[in-house]
Amino acid sequence: MPVREALDAGVRLALVESEMAAGSLPEEYDPLLCTADALSLFDLVEDELMLALPIVAAHARGECQSGPVGECPDQAPADRPNPFAVLSRLKKSD
């Protein structure tokens, strides 16, 4: 199921030619070091949008439509055995 997510990428870039120039920028600007003759605006926007995406896409609570109401299929059942239980037994035998 697609997840809709509003993105708010408050990006304030300043084009600079050197690291020295980047150091003299006001704090609210992020320096973008331009050493080439051309800059791809598409690549720049794509990178900034990818950085603004949440780390994990998730539905808001109660909006998951893939399973019964109130429960998403990717949630592990509570009665499942702990896969690390064998490690605790190994630790006790030392």
pLDDT in tens, the chain (94 residues): 666 777 887 888 898 988 888 889 999 999 988 887 888 889 988 988 888 888 876 666 666 666 554 455 555 566 777 878 888 877 776 5
Is 4 within a domain? no
Is 18 within a domain? yes
User: Rounded to two decimals, what is the model's pTM?
Assistant: 0.49
Is 72 within a domain? yes
Is 1 within a domain? no
- Give the span between the Cα atoms of 72 and 57, in whole angstroms: 13
Indicate the residue type of 41.
L
Is 62 within a domain? yes
Is 7 within a domain? no
- Bridge partners of residue 31, in order along the sequence: 14
Is 2 within a domain? no
- How many independent structural domains does the chain possess? 1
CB 49 within 8 A of CB 5: no
Question: How buried is 48 (Cβ within 10 angstroms: 0-12 exposed, 13-18 middle, 19+ buried)?
Answer: middle
Q: Which domain holds residue 73?
A: 13-93
